[in-house]
Amino acid sequence: MNLVVDVGNTLVKMAVFQNGSLQYKIAFPREEFFQKTEEIFKSFPHIEKSVLSSVVKNTEREEDLLQKRSELLILTMDIGQPFTNHYATPTTLGKDRIALIAAAVKNYPGKNVLVIDAGSCITYDFKNTEEEYLGGAISPGLEMRFRAMHEYTGNLPLFNPVENPDITGNSTQKAMNSGAVNGVLFEIDGFINMYKSENKDLTIILTGGDMLFLSKQLKNSIFANPNFLFEGLNYILEFNKTQ
């Protein structure tokens, strides 16, 4: 059994895999790390290996606990990756993006794949049929767009996004929803259409926190997968067993 650990700025996400199959997943605040980790190892005593991906610094205590309980792999640029990385600045490439491309290689070998992660930021990552990662794009996510309009102006309030907003908003709330939500949808569909025009038989994966909200409104056909990051981290762990 494998334990996958993804430490974010506010939440820790964990998943347990057995023979490549997701058995369990959970998300919780970072201050609950030690309690939840102990509970997982108690519930799944056959966990032998773990992988840690973190966007925050100073995870030594978390690493120590995982190392005591399992054989730990820490995701860095120095470990083996199941694809050829052509990113010009590989040391600045987000660990989440590495994991997403790894998942694309595992699930769609020999395919052109565009992975769209709709979270705090929206990331676009492309790998080709030769399992080469070529890069992508980063733009503000939905919540960031609403917050930016509120925090960088004097009068615009903070709203939550609503589905299928009218193009022509006849109130401030509706106008902001039109700009933010429709803007994201137009952006994503535009990126997909551009990649489709340049790459034959393109597979599109949508994941991330806003996946469900956006997937129902996009014009293009996509595969929505909320566990894509977990799958990529687990595949990196498995890949490095043989290195």
**180-216: pLDDT as tens digits:** 999 999 999 999 999 999 999 999 999 999 999 999 9
Assess whether pLDDT exceeds 80 at residue 68.
Answer: yes
Q: Hey, what are 53's tokens?
A: 């991906």
Shortest CA distance to 161 belongs to which of 190, 137, 183?
183
Q: Is 23 within a domain?
A: yes
What pLDDT was estimated at residue 8?
86
What pLDDT was estimated at residue 71?
97
What average pLDDT does range 9-25 have in this prediction?
94
Assess whether pLDDT exceeds 80 at residue 27.
Answer: yes
My answer on whether 218 and 137 are in the same domain is: yes
Instruction: Provide the domain limits for residue 118.
Output: 84-233
My answer on whether 163 and 226 are in the same domain is: yes
Cα separation, 32 vs 229, in Å, equals 21
Per-position DSSP letters for the chain, written without gaps between them: -EEEEEE-SSEEEEEEEETTEEEEEEEEEGGGHHHHHHHHHHH-TT--EEEEEESSS--HHHHHHHHHHSEEEE--TTS--SSEE--SSGGGS-HHHHHHHHHHHHHSTTSEEEEEEESSEEEEEEE-TTSEEEEEEEEE-HHHHHHHHHHTSSS-------SS--SS-SSHHHHHHIIIIIHHHHHHHHHHHHHHHHSTTEEEEEESTTHHHHHTT-SS--EE-TTHHHHHHHHHHHHHH--
My answer on whether 98 and 43 are in the same domain is: no
Last-in-domain residue among 44, 74, 104: 74
Percent share of the chain, pLDDT over 90: 94
My answer on whether 227 and 110 are in the same domain is: yes
CA 1 to chain centre: 22
> What average pLDDT does the structure give for the chain?
96
Q: Hey, what are 108's tokens?
A: 């769609």
What average pLDDT does range 43-70 have in this prediction?
95
My answer on whether 34 and 154 are in the same domain is: no
Q: What value, to the nearest 5°, has the Cα angle with vertex 228 and ends 59 and 81?
A: 65
What average pLDDT does range 28-55 have in this prediction?
96
What average pLDDT does range 109-132 have in this prediction?
97
The count of domains in the chain is 2
CATH number of 19's domain:
3.30.420.40
Q: Is 242 within a domain?
A: no
What average pLDDT does range 166-172 have in this prediction?
97
Assess whether pLDDT exceeds 80 at residue 242.
Answer: no
My answer on whether 64 and 97 are in the same domain is: no
| Beta-carbon contacts of residue 241 (< 8 Å; ≥ 6 apart) | 49
Q: Is 127 within a domain?
A: yes
Last-in-domain residue among 25, 50, 74: 74
Q: Is 240 within a domain?
A: no
Q: Tell me the pLDDT band of 243, cut-offs 50, 70 and 90.
A: low
My answer on whether 8 and 105 are in the same domain is: no
Cα separation, 97 vs 78, in Å, equals 15
My answer on whether 60 and 173 are in the same domain is: no
What pLDDT was estimated at residue 241?
86
User: Which residues are identified as catalytic?
Assistant: 96
Q: Is 243 within a domain?
A: no
My answer on whether 101 and 170 are in the same domain is: yes
What pLDDT was estimated at residue 148?
97
